[in-house]
Amino acid sequence: MKYTNRLRQYTHEIWEANYYHPFVQAIGSGTLSEEKFEFYLAQDYVYLKDYCRLLALGVAKGHNLKSMGRLSELLQTTLQVEMDLHRAICADFNLSPQDLEATEPAPNCLGYTSYLLRIAYEGDSLDFLAAFLPCAWGYVEIGRRLKRKGLPQHAHYAKWIETYASPEFWEFTESIKEEINHLAQGLPPQKLERLQEIFKFSCRWEYLFWEMAWTEQRWTDS
């Protein structure tokens, strides 16, 4: 069994909880309130900024030139394309660039990005990939599963699903999985167990991010 399949099997219950989270299911049915989606978009913008920092650290710690090049391309795409697309979608919900830049991270958003950045700073390239993978893999799986059920009539939610169900997003995720499987060959059990725990905690944070969006989580003094 490939190592990434073992990771997926190890965290199966969390993955299913992510897919069946009411926020995700409401996107799929087109019934999610736009207020909750606006909150999600603003927090996701905050997340994406730290995601870019995470990718920059990943490039620096890349195992080889191919890996560094792949992550560098993703960083440039995120900075130059995905952030612009995100701002355009936010504009449809009357969220201006100034609004987005002024957004304070909610507790779970801050917790998740802090965890990812800590792993990237302290760990090696494989630690980084194990922490990074649940976001990309989780979104592509959610997108593909929701699309198989049929797209909602709500145009923005349908576009969101189409984005993460795209072949390009799937191919990128598969390339990360292949690299992890290659690097994991011959590693001692202690290292493989550490990677499992890193991967599991990122999966947990993914769930908490959905929960944050669903409840429109705030700090107690805000």
- Please list, in sequence order, all residues whose beta carbon lies within 8 angstroms of the beta carbon of residue 41, skipping any fewer than 6 positions away: 86, 89, 90, 93, 95
Of these residues, 135, 141, 179, 203, which one is catalytic?
135
Q: What total of structural domains would you count in the chain?
A: 1
- Residue 208 belongs to some domain of the structure: yes
pTM: 0.94
Of these residues, 38, 141, 179, 206, which one is catalytic?
206
197 is catalytic: no
- Residue 109 belongs to some domain of the structure: yes
- For 76-101, write each residue's pLDDT tens digit: 877 776 777 788 888 888 889 899 99
- Residue 220 belongs to some domain of the structure: no
**What local confidence, expressed as pLDDT, does residue 137 receive?**
96
- Residue 101 belongs to some domain of the structure: yes
- For 162-217, write each residue's pLDDT tens digit: 989 999 889 889 988 998 999 999 999 999 999 999 999 999 999 999 999 999 99
206 is catalytic: yes
Tokens representing 70 are 């792949």
- Residue 36 belongs to some domain of the structure: yes
Range of 55's domain?
A: 3-215
- Residue 107 belongs to some domain of the structure: yes
**What local confidence, expressed as pLDDT, does residue 92 receive?**
87
- Residue 221 belongs to some domain of the structure: no
CATH code: domain of residue 50:
1.20.910.10
- Of 108, 104, 101, nearest to 86 by C-alpha is 101
